[in-house]
Amino acid sequence: MAGGARDRGRSVTSRVLAILDAFDAGRPRLTLSEIAARSGLALSTVHRLVGELEEWQALRRTADGSYHIGIRLWELGQLAPDSLQAVAHPWLQELLASTGENVHLAIREGVEVLYVDRVFGRRAVPIVSRTGGRLPMHCTGVGKALLAFEPGWFVTSFLSRPLERFTPHTVTEPGRLSRELAQIRARGYALTHEEMTLGSCSAAAPIISDGVPVAAVGIVVSSRRVRELPRLVDPLLAATDGIARAYQATMVPATRPRQERRD
Amino acid sequence: MAGGARDRGRSVTSRVLAILDAFDAGRPRLTLSEIAARSGLALSTVHRLVGELEEWQALRRTADGSYHIGIRLWELGQLAPDSLQAVAHPWLQELLASTGENVHLAIREGVEVLYVDRVFGRRAVPIVSRTGGRLPMHCTGVGKALLAFEPGWFVTSFLSRPLERFTPHTVTEPGRLSRELAQIRARGYALTHEEMTLGSCSAAAPIISDGVPVAAVGIVVSSRRVRELPRLVDPLLAATDGIARAYQATMVPATRPRQERRD
């Protein structure tokens, strides 16, 4: 079998996955040597496997000889179940219509938030989150909205890790964040002000299904419009409630409580 | 090396890709035996490779033991370059605001259209296209809008293949489709009426960049609203023009014509 001695002991599948893992939002384009460096594989192995991946359109070579993720992987990724996203999308649209700013849907993946949908108009403030992107939980509206509704053991463990500072407004002191989470839990939504990026602030609320925070909806507006944020809370909570109810309705009856409340 | 005798001669990479290829929009959930049957691989091979793919979250096992594409592949797919989609999205939003119906963006992939973005409101008519889904070109608005602007040799080759009938209104006669394409080319947009699905009709126009149809925008409305379609053409063409201009502006200067028109 070809490939450098250092690749021994790794299955071919794990080598293919290591090549794909080399790509991320910060490095969406890589040369063969960069892929080798980031995957820890021998250049000869990378050369051979990238060729096969390119043929299948998992990777695509650009004019300058570097590679990026190909359309075939995007297409395949769209097959991941997205019942929540499908339910939520029209509600995101309605929030966009009332704000003209960025509205997004995020889920928790490990200790980060993963943005699974985003709608925005032409006048929206530029933001760092992108669909498919990840951001930390302690400094984003959706992250705080989700964190506040996680079980106590999760929050304790989360707060025991260092909290990175992104702007002078990022809350990095665990005690202060903990008090803020209690407040978010009590009122049902989170507000942030330039904690991730200078120039933007946000309102976010969780979508609670069967007591579990399955996702969060956030609205990001320019800091110049910070005074309008409180006004966006009611439409936001109406949307997350609506999504939660619509999502619950997509569940098979067996998972719903036997005695449904009538009101 | 494990795996049935019939897998010999296929590289491990090609086996991994064959497993992923087994999933499509029509079959987003598969059991191990179904993956084996669809990929042509031995069950023992499938069992081993699926285990590795599951560990990496490329696949995910559901409660009933079947598998679907996992969030990790979705996330990776989001790294495929989408400069056109990013430019187009706000324009799709504006079309949605003026129609409340489905608005989508599609590109040509081979002889099909691939839907790369879609926005829709709560009152939108249910449609068959989904982001990441493919449909034929001869019976969809976006497909006809793209086909009309492809070079003659491509259209001739396209028309020489059988055209599948989906409804009594699908145009399957090559001569008639060819005349319709000439009309679309002349006026700059396509209209369809229940050619893919009974109950829905559409208006679509291509985004032309450097003379090439790089994508098309389509609006799908309920057939009950067919009379409103002509009224949607002007906003549609304003959007595709706007997207083409904005997209052109994202290109590196070297690819733009040296003499820019002033008007």
CA B232/CA B236 separation, integer angstroms: 6
Q: Please, what is the angle between helix A83-99 and helix B83-99, to 10°?
A: 70
Q: Which helix (H) or strand (E) covers residue A20, if one does?
A: helix A12-21
Distances (CA, A) of B221 to A21, B158, B194, B231: 41, 27, 10, 12
Q: Residue B117: what residue type?
A: D
- The 10s digit of each residue's pLDDT in B178-190 is 999 999 999 999 9
Tokens standing for B121? Answer: 């409101």
Which is higher by pLDDT, B250 or A136? A136
Select the residue of A49, A80, A114 nearest B69 (Cβ to Cβ): A80
Tokens standing for B132? Answer: 């990441």
- Give mean pLDDT, residues A32-51: 95
Of A189, A132, A196, which Cα lies nearest the Cα of A163? A196
- The 10s digit of each residue's pLDDT in B144-199 is 999 999 999 999 999 999 999 999 999 999 999 999 999 999 999 999 999 999 99
Coil, strand or helix at B72:
helix
Question: CB count, 10 Å around CB of A86?
Answer: 16
Tokens standing for A224? Answer: 């110049």
Looking at residue A59, its pLDDT comes to 94
Measured between CA atoms, the residue of chain B closest to residue A108 is: B71
Report domain extents, chain A.
Answer: 5-76, 83-255
Residue A7 predicted with pLDDT over 80: no
Q: Tokens 């991320």 map to which residue?
A: A24
Q: B77: which chain A residues are within 8 Å (Cβ-Cβ)? A: 69, 73-78, 132
CA B17/CA A186 separation, integer angstroms: 48
Please determine, looking at this structure, whether the domain spanning B83-255 carries the CATH number 3.30.450.40. Answer: yes
In this predicted complex, what is the ipTM?
Answer: 0.73
> Between chains, do A94 and B124 touch, taking CB under 8 Å as contact?
no
CA A124/CA A200 separation, integer angstroms: 11
Fold of the domain spanning A5-76: Arc Repressor Mutant, subunit A (1.10.10)
- The listed range with the strongest mean pLDDT (A1-5, A77-81, B195-199) is B195-199
Contacts of A185 (CB under 8 A, 6+ apart): A148, A149
Of B125, B145, B148, which Cα lies nearest the Cα of B201? B125
Please spell the DSSP secondary structure of B14-65, one letter per residue: HHHHHHHHT-BTTB--B-HHHHHHHHT--HHHHHHHHHHHHHTTSEEE-TTS
Can A5-76 and A83-255 be said to share one CATH topology? no
Chain A residues 49-108 with a CB less than 8 Å from chain B:
49, 52-53, 56, 58, 60, 68-71, 73-81, 89-91, 93-94, 96-97
Q: B20: which chain A residues are within 8 Å (Cβ-Cβ)? A: 76
- Give mean pLDDT, residues B41-59: 94
> Nearest CA to CA, how far is A194 from chain B (Å)?
24
- The 10s digit of each residue's pLDDT in A135-154 is 999 999 999 999 999 999 99
Measured between CA atoms, the residue of chain A closest to residue B123 is: A90
First-to-last alpha carbon distance for chain A, in angstroms, is: 68
| Greatest extent of chain A over all pairs of C-alpha atoms, in Å | 69
